[in-house]
A = this chain, B = another copy of it.
């Protein structure tokens, strides 16, 4: 061992001990004849001192040190005269007797401090230096702890962690697969799993009735901000269960995480909300319920008063923003422009200010004071509040109102990252009709079971009936972010065949892609269901952050590149030849 103690370990009761530390030079200061070195490792920072009485050798050695040099330092633990209460080691310092440079360092391209002066790109290229910074260390420590807690909890209630393969079969449906050419089977490819979905279902068929895995998954998508081509899931499945059993089991796990990681106790059951309610009241299938400001439908209240915009709208609804009557005309204009941006796509914004001196609105030529009072009453507005109203197509308007609600929540500081509001959302539609390809797509995936009471509709030949089928599916939402999703699966091979039919797969296509699972269902498949949690985002939310990148040791950028490795990259012609492949582009 190069050290007797870590840099986060020494306390007042160690005074007088001869110790050896090893770590990185965080800072060097000179004061009078004294030198002070802050030595850093994973565990903390300890102050080293060289005083006037030190040997010339020691002083010379110290003079050669620079930031991020790796040194081994020997000396005696001494009580500090001016203590630093901010450091756990701040009561002591090491009076040095010896320094050995274990490795020198070039001057790092950015400062290794909590707030670095380095831009995102340079920090990505030198990720190994960025990872030395405290916020990233805390992020990875949190991730480690969460992974251990998840395993401890699930192991404790009889779940088995079972590893599923990474080299599997390509069955494109939904996102694109990454593929891996097989040298030993020329012209053929493996695929990387988008999730272990079919494997975990096969494990249920095999009788492993409580399965989990913290597992890497892959999706070749055109990357959006804060999406990674590879990501980690807490993947779980249970047999002989109904929805209620799954929600209870994983609510238990999540509560244990809150308790053991954040020391937050949730004694009540997590709230639950149907997909329909989520859309109606929050304009989103992942409502942030840290704050109210629910969307209210006022269509019937405002129509028939000769305001053409409202009269012609399928839906009129809005939110009541508490205490925002003080918003100026300028602020309201800016907000109107904001909702008209293409990402939101509203045609305009109507406001009603409920002020001390009466109600003011952008549409007061169409409505009487009594009309406004009625609206204010319906929306629960009191003096000082601001009502914001959108109108148009029902689904789009609710979604726009939901986005506006989140924006107002942000502006009013109602979305505190250290407050946690968990929520289950359930009863999603099973299918989505796509006009372009004239077929249904699975909202979740093709193994999701319809709700038992909707089986008649599911077997109907009328596509409008089929469109109404609810899935036996559920999402776990935290602070407006979908963290987990799952469903009760189909376990009847006839229902599964019907699902493939509804999705427009030919029998051959279904057989080619999913033969193994259709077959498996013929040999005694138990009722089963499961859930998967996005582990990267789960960690980020627990860390109070919105971006996942700091919670992944070596992430890729938005173009799917690892800029540190410079990957992807060209490969040798020999490799291409062995794989029986030719590239159709020249680099």
Which interface residue of A141, A179, A230 has the most chain B CB atoms within 10 A?
A179
Chain A interface mostly: loop
Taken residue by residue from 212 to 239, chain A's Cβ proximity to chain B (1 for < 8 Å, 0 otherwise) reads as 0000101010110000011010000000
Instruction: Tell me how far the C-beta of A224 lies from the nearest C-beta in chain B, rounded to whole angstroms.
Output: 13
Asked whether A561 is an interface residue with its Cβ less than 8 Å from the other chain, the reply is yes
**18 residue pairs from A and B, CB less than 8 Å apart:** A1-B240, A1-B242, A1-B245, A40-B207, A102-B527, A106-B523, A127-B202, A128-B206, A147-B161, A163-B232, A165-B562, A168-B567, A169-B567, A176-B578, A186-B585, A187-B570, A187-B586, A189-B571
Asked whether A524 is an interface residue with its Cβ less than 8 Å from the other chain, the reply is yes
Write out the residue numbers on chain B whose beta carbons fall within 8 Å of the beta carbon of A491: 102-103
Give the 8 A-B residue pairs with the shortest CB-CB distance, closest first. Answer: A169-B567, A105-B524, A131-B206, A188-B568, A2-B240, A182-B568, A68-B524, A169-B565
What's the number of copies of this chain in the assembled complex? 2
Instruction: Tell me how far the C-beta of A514 lies from the nearest C-beta in chain B, rounded to whole angstroms.
Output: 10
Assuming A144-B155, A148-B151, A172-B575, what are 17 further A-B pairs, CB within 8 angstroms?
A2-B240, A3-B240, A42-B210, A102-B491, A126-B519, A166-B230, A167-B178, A170-B569, A176-B183, A179-B575, A179-B579, A187-B585, A189-B571, A216-B216, A516-B564, A516-B565, A580-B583
Write out the residue numbers on chain B whose beta carbons fall within 8 Å of the beta carbon of A143: 162-163
At the interface with chain B, which of A265-273, A288-296, A344-352, A550-558?
A550-558
Whether A172 pairs with B565 at a CB distance below 8 angstroms is no
Whether B206 pairs with A180 at a CB distance below 8 angstroms is no
Whether A524 pairs with B166 at a CB distance below 8 angstroms is no
Whether A24 pairs with B583 at a CB distance below 8 angstroms is no
Question: A-side interface residues toward B, CB under 8 Å?
Answer: 1-3, 22-24, 40-42, 68-70, 102-106, 108, 126-129, 131-132, 137, 140-141, 143-144, 147-148, 151, 155, 160-170, 172, 176-192, 199, 202-203, 205-210, 216, 218, 220, 222-223, 229-230, 232, 240-242, 245, 491-492, 515-516, 519-527, 552-554, 556, 559-562, 564-572, 575, 578-587
Q: Which residue of B lies closest to A205 (CB)?
A: B128
Given A140-B208, A524-B104: A169 and B568 within 8 A (CB)?
Answer: yes
Given A567-B169, A568-B189, A580-B583: A42 and B207 within 8 A (CB)?
Answer: yes
Instruction: Tell me how far the C-beta of A156 lies from the nearest C-beta in chain B, rounded to whole angstroms.
Output: 10
Instruction: Tell me how far the C-beta of A229 lies from the nearest C-beta in chain B, rounded to whole angstroms.
Output: 6
Q: Which of B178, B524, B566, B572 contacts A180 (CB 8 A)?
A: B178
Write out the residue numbers on chain B whose beta carbons fall within 8 Å of the beta carbon of A168: 562, 565, 567
Q: Which residue of B lies closest to A108 (CB)?
A: B523
Whether A148 pairs with B161 at a CB distance below 8 angstroms is yes
Whether A132 pairs with B206 at a CB distance below 8 angstroms is yes
Q: How far is the CA of A205 from the CA of B188 in the complex (A)?
A: 39
Q: How far is the CA of A137 from the CA of B183 in the complex (A)?
A: 33
Q: Which residue of B lies closest to A535 (CB)?
A: B163
Write out the residue numbers on chain B whose beta carbons fall within 8 Å of the beta carbon of A515: 566
Whether A524 pairs with B70 at a CB distance below 8 angstroms is yes
Q: How far is the CA of A54 from the CA of B404 in the complex (A)?
A: 65
Q: How far is the CA of A117 from the CA of B341 in the complex (A)?
A: 68
Write out the residue numbers on chain B whose beta carbons fall within 8 Å of the beta carbon of A165: 230, 554, 556, 562
Instruction: Tell me how far the C-beta of A137 lies from the nearest C-beta in chain B, rounded to whole angstroms.
Output: 7
Q: How far is the CA of A103 from the CA of B240 in the complex (A)?
A: 11
Q: Which residue of B lies closest to A586 (CB)?
A: B187
Q: How far is the CA of A585 from the CA of B581 in the complex (A)?
A: 8
Write out the residue numbers on chain B whose beta carbons fall within 8 Å of the beta carbon of A151: 148, 151
Write out the residue numbers on chain B whose beta carbons fall within 8 Å of the beta carbon of A162: 140, 143-144, 553
